[in-house]
Amino acid sequence: MDKTLTGRTALVTGSTSGIGLGIAQLFAEAGAKVMLNGFGKPEEIARARAEVGAAMGVAEAPYSAADLSKADAVKQMIAEAEAALGSVDILVNNAGIQFVAPIDEFPDARFEAIMAINFASNWYAIKAALPGMKARNWGRIINVASAHGLVASPNKSAYVSAKHAVVGLTKTVAIEVAQTPITCNAICPGFVRTPLAEAQLPALAKQYGVSEEVALKQHLLEHQPSKRWIEVDEVAQMALYLCGPGSGGVTGAALSIDGGWLAN
């Protein structure tokens, strides 16, 4: 693989599985030093650290267990990453959680957790990482939003609100740093094939009395014209492009990777 990120450092939140792990792995393969963050079973975290570490040529990638629902923990995570990596050249705000319910039945605690992890953590992480990027006169900020940062679905009021806020934050930061070699962009995926997403299929198939394949195409991917999963590597490749040569003019963008959802 072309080592386009050699000499760069990256912190990827929510990177012990799914999209975040895919991005971290690809960045490491492209030559970056990467710090992971996220929750999970100890053996899963150890496996992720080993996989990304192998791509970096070390026993295991550095890791932060920061609870992104807490502002102080987010700030400390950035400090830990700067200490472990020497800098944070690339910040990927990927961590997110979900809960589904009508707004009048939505638990307040769930709303507050979604807003804290899906949106506020991005704000605090950018605020903490940006001074170092300015001092080094280079940086890449990538916020993994969602197609739901651009359109809405019922029963997802907290998630949709948070992801719309992420897109707005992305645009604001991009304008603020527009005259520097720092960019800020959002990636807006549709339904991505991850273990958590695939785990929804059995219950969905049972609910509608159909096969899992029919449940996938007619119900889960109802708004995704391609009727196929977006693959983790497709999202990771988009993130890699945003950090590589020729990407400096792309900033403030909300880049859809949704199988045609937003075109429909």
Query: Which are the catalytic amino acids?
Result: 159
Smallest CA-to-CA distance from 13 within 126, 138, 110, 173 is with: 126
How far apart CA 188 and CA 115 sit, in angstroms, is 17
Strand partners, 64: 37
- AA letter at 163: K
Structure-token pair, residue 95: 């961590």
DSSP 229: P
Write out the H or E segment, with its range, that includes residue 82.
helix 71-85
Angle between helices 157-176 and 121-136 (to 10 degrees): 20
SS3 of residue 257 by DSSP:
strand
Long-range contacts of 79-85 (CB under 8 A, 24+ apart): 79/128, 80/35, 81/9, 81/11, 81/35, 82/132, 84/35, 85/9, 85/10, 85/11, 85/33, 85/34, 85/35
- Contact residues for 57 (Cβ-Cβ < 8 A; gap 6+): none
How far apart CA 92 and CA 239 sit, in angstroms, is 9
